[in-house]
Amino acid sequence: TSPAGWDCSGFVQWIYRQAAGINIPRTTWTQWAALTPIDASQAEPGDLVFFDGSDGPIGHVGLYLGDGLMIDAPHTGAVTRVEPVWLPYRGFRRV
């Protein structure tokens, strides 16, 4: 959970702390529970988009960039990258 290596929730936590000075919870589950739900039609850059994981609901999170794109740390061994929001997603949350 540092620039030397990210998981998805650690990445978005670090971005918010560094870019906005805002502390958000550490894990996808705690981020999902703590942040404000919004409809996908209201999503703006900086909102978080959540996905189910292979081990159950709320297993992945990305930082929404707008225009259907997000930046995320997609899986072990992958680089942090910009990519389209995956379908299906669980929902969006606002910090």
Longest dimension (CA), the chain: 34
pLDDT digits (tens, 9 = 90+) for 44-90: 999 999 999 877 789 999 999 999 999 999 877 788 999 999 999 99
pTM across the whole model: 0.92
CA 85, chain centre distance (Å): 10
| DSSP-assigned letters across all residues of 44-75 | -TT-EEEEEETTEEEEEEEEEEETTEEEE--S
pLDDT confidence of residue 57: 85
Which residues are tagged catalytic? 8, 60, 72
pLDDT confidence of residue 1: 65
